[in-house]
Amino acid sequence: MTAASVPDKPALEGLEAKWGGSWEEAGTYRFDRSSSTRENIYSIDTPPPTASGSLHIGHVFSYTHTDVIARFQRMRGKSVFYPMGWDDNGLPTERRVQNYYGVRCDPSLHYSPDFVAPFEGGDGKSTKAADQLPISRRNFIELCERLTIEDEKQFEALWRTLGLSVDWTQTYRTIGPDSLVTSQSAFLGNVERGEAYQAMAPTLWDVTFRTAVAQAELEDKEVPAAYHRVSFLKPDGSTIEIETTRPELLPACVALVAHPDDERYKHLFGTSVRTPLFDVEVPVLAHHLAQKDKGSGIAMICTFGDVTDVVWWRELDLPNRAIMGFDGRIIAEVPEAIVSEAGQAAYAQLAGKTVFSAKQAVVELLRASGDLIGEPKPIVHAVKFFEKGDKPLEIVSTRQWYIRNGARDEKLRARLLSHGNDLEWHPEFMRVRYENWVNGLTGDWLISRQRFFGVPLPVWYPLDAEANPVFDAPILATREMLPVDPSSETAPGYAADQRGQAGGFVGEVDVMDTWATSSLTPQLAGGWERDPELFDLVYPFSLRPQGQDIIRTWLFSTLLRSELEHGMSPWKHAALSGFIVDPDRKKMSKSKGNVVTPAGMLEQHGSDAVRYWAASSRLGTDAAFDPMNPTQIKIGRRLAIKILNASKFILSFEGAADAPVTEPIDRSMLAGLAAVVTQSSTAFDNYDHARALETSESFFWTFCDDYLELVKERAYGETGPAQASAVAALRTALSTLLRLFAPFVPFATEEAWSWSNDGSVHRASWPTAGELATPEAGDPALLDLASRALTGIRRAKTDAKASQKTAVSSAVISGIASHVGLLTQAAADLQAVGRIAELTFVEGSELAVTSIVLATVSES
């Protein structure tokens, strides 16, 4: 790129298209492996946005934070590895495809090569499952592939408009072939080392999506419920009363439990009671988790009402009488423990009912039998939901795959905490959130999902003589087979016609949790096993930027996988962005319906303005956004326009940037700017981009409003040392300021830079204080004093109801001796800009214009 001419009327409009194309053509942000060493690389484990739907303002906020860091490091001389991934597998994509095409997956159906979706666009016809056309798994996955690719194109276009300095040759998809190989290979390593295992266990289950849910995906929501007081029959004919919000689970009751120190029930421990309606004998037991002050102080343990039931069931070694089906309905099969005719008849009235209907039925039965004491008491309590679901989770017994995460391994937990302690957190207070999560883990990471569009678990199971799967002897794929889909490909050592046959095999149909792939983003982006040379260069990564809300999921799971695979932390720094909140201080999210999409904003205000708004917020700090009055964005646009106009103005002066800077006010300005460079650089080094922006911006407005005004007459004047000094100082300052602002407003700075420089400002070196040094050191206080004096002169003219162009016969400026002595060095510039014929300085108590005499018409 060669220096361009300065336009007559600089404008922000069109700069995104102009420079976006230029950067791509020139490879401005391309990672050059050939010239990179481990020591000079700055690698970023960029968050792969979920490619299902549209980006929102929160994405613009956090990704801008990452980009300003990347741009700063690049200008600092680092070889920046800044890839982009797309998180395109998982439940959000499946839901979008269902609604967009009006279909749902039915794995029992055969593939149709000529399938055409009933419609496209998600116009609302497909919101109910009953209205969705069932299609084969393969047809469904093909639609997922098609839609995510289209979404990703739109996402990339928006990121380019925003000016992300991503290397677009370094991209990946979490469902792409390379990602499949990486995810499956890592899983096989986990199995081979004993870190991954399969177990039949109580599992948090979403009945809408019919899939298991991990601890990290839970969300507590307040919902209405009611306490039901129910009597159990003791052997002596008397009763004991419990209170429950889940009376529909009475058939699944396996014990009553009270606190070991509860005097009311101590005498009952070791005895048994019989359940109402179903007449099943259950023991009365003690456990420290029972709460004396909750309800009647004694609770029923059911398999399973909540996670506490699971703890009691496991620690008290109780039987499993699960009655909840995967569809959220009561299963038809009567629990073996219910043997009485009346009990079986009561159960028959529940079979096949939803939780809601079964609860109503049990309450009516209890009321009729006299075992319901009083009427239900309404309450509101917290219930666990899948973060993407809208119905309370149930707990069902399923066979699932898990990865050990330190919940039951103190040595692993200690290593994970040690990695968290060694990691540099920005801001530092986010560290405790990670530590709290690790210390609060209660179970290993459930990674299998009963979904379709995901990374297949590379496992088959042998079938015994009765064609039953032998789950304890899984058949693992070989590395050479990857990527592999066991649901359609043959197990090693078997023939295809042995699928489903006695003595043959059956393929695993579950897929991995999307986080099980996303937790490998350093490996995916860095080319682990695929490109060892690249991986050795970039790993461990320099930075993990992300939102604070996914510390427990993405950050933790990535750190876990890195510890298991490499025995080390995957990054050196973690940068956590805050939330975007609406004017009512509520977090913006799709589920709340208060999300703002950025495309219109970028078009209306310009990318630099939107980036300025985002960069004005520190890491870890929530930012309020009012789309009806985007004040910060308007300020950012004003700054970007001022950069263009100031650059044009400065470049209009004739002179050279390398001329000697001889005048005290010029040296003062450069000394002040040198301090700004130091402060901004330090702020960036501390991952405080907002402070870097604030420091540079504050100086810039003083520079434009005061220094430019003070020296413009001299810069326009006759050629000589004083004029050359002004022009050199102005051009030096412009070069420095454009580079200081380049990470924040890349389009305006690139445009202005191109008017007097070859190459891109984004490949220019970051400014240093040494560049601004002059043979004789300047005093930064002089510019401040001169600015205050100029303000006084302007105010005096305004008070006299005169134009700022009005000539002044004489003026007197007073101040303390040291100030007056310094100000005399700027006398000529003050006289020129103030049109003052005679300027006098006197000692006084404070800096002020104490006298001003306007020139007469004849004088002027």
What is the rounded distance in angstroms from the CA atom of residue 156 to the CA atom of residue 162?
A: 10
Residues 6+ apart with CB under 8 A from 448: 212, 400, 401, 457, 510, 511, 512, 513
pTM for the whole structure: 0.84
Among 447, 438, 446, residue whose Cα is nearest residue 409: 438
Asked whether the beta carbons of 28 and 154 are under 8 A apart, the reply is: no
Name the amino acid, one letter, at 724: A
pLDDT at position 629, please? 81
Q: Residue 16 has which token pair? A: 């995104």
Q: Residue 286 has which token pair? A: 């003690």
* Predicted confidence (pLDDT) per residue in 350-395, tens digit: 999 999 999 999 999 999 999 999 999 999 998 998 877 888 988 8
pLDDT at position 344, please? 96
pLDDT at position 397, please? 81
Residue 625 pLDDT level (bands cut at 50, 70, 90): confident
pLDDT at position 589, please? 62
Q: Residue 201 has which token pair? A: 């266990």
Is 19's pLDDT higher than 90? yes
Residues 6+ apart with CB under 8 A from 407: 413, 441, 442, 443, 444
Residue 696 pLDDT level (bands cut at 50, 70, 90): very high
Pick from 587-601, 649-663, 703-717, 805-819: least confident: 587-601
Instruction: For residues 443-467, give the mean pLDDT.
Output: 92
pLDDT at position 746, please? 98
SS3 assignment, position 281: strand
Q: Residue 178 belongs to what H/E stretch? A: helix 177-192
* Predicted confidence (pLDDT) per residue in 287-298, tens digit: 988 999 999 999
Average pLDDT along the chain: 92
Q: What percent of the chain has pLDDT over 70?
A: 97
